[in-house]
Amino acid sequence: MKRIFYILLMNILYFSCNPTRPCMDSNLIPAFTGYSNSNDFNSIIFRAYHQNGKFDQLMDTLFITDIQPNQLISGDTLYFWLSGNTTSQNHYRVLGPGYDWEIFLPESKKTFQISNIVNHQSEGQGRSCLNEISSCKINGEKIYPIFSGFRIGYPRGFIVVPLP
């Protein structure tokens, strides 16, 4: 009886110490298709714009070189992991909601515009609670992120960005 009481008491204490709170916003992970070699580009630029779909008010930028540590290649697809990456001045969470984003690949001179990032606000306990992104637009086309079983960092939605 004491054992059951002790377990019950510990559960009550545990759950009272982990109150329900708003979850963190997640970010998108670009998945570039059409890759045969990870050396096809060595750098990537992320630009944050005021969220209006016009890409006319630049807010901040992140320039990343030597992308080898944050990438995973599967077949001809390069997944670019952005675990905690933020922009250089204002520290916006890269490819997260609240801003429109532009991805620029200097080597191929390709630009992708991501806007209308929609995530559902939820509540949960602990640090692993995330608001999943349900949709966004890439170059004006509505996209629904693909969720994967990968567990590198927090689970996030992949957006597939085809490279010609």
Lowest mean pLDDT among 15-29, 40-54, 141-155: 141-155
- In this prediction, residue 153 carries a pLDDT of 37
- In this prediction, residue 152 carries a pLDDT of 39
Average confidence (pLDDT) over 69-73: 56
* Contacts of 132 by beta carbon, 8 Å cutoff, 6+ apart: 26, 119, 120, 145, 147, 156, 157
pTM given for the model: 0.75
- Domains of the chain, residue spans: 21-162
Indicate the pLDDT class of residue 50, thresholds 50, 70 and 90: very high
Strands 58-65 and 146-147, sheet pairing: unpaired
Distance between CA atoms of residues 62 and 35, nearest Å: 23
Q: Is the pLDDT of residue 14 over 80?
A: no
- In this prediction, residue 15 carries a pLDDT of 60
3-class secondary structure, 71:
strand
Q: Is the pLDDT of residue 90 over 80?
A: yes
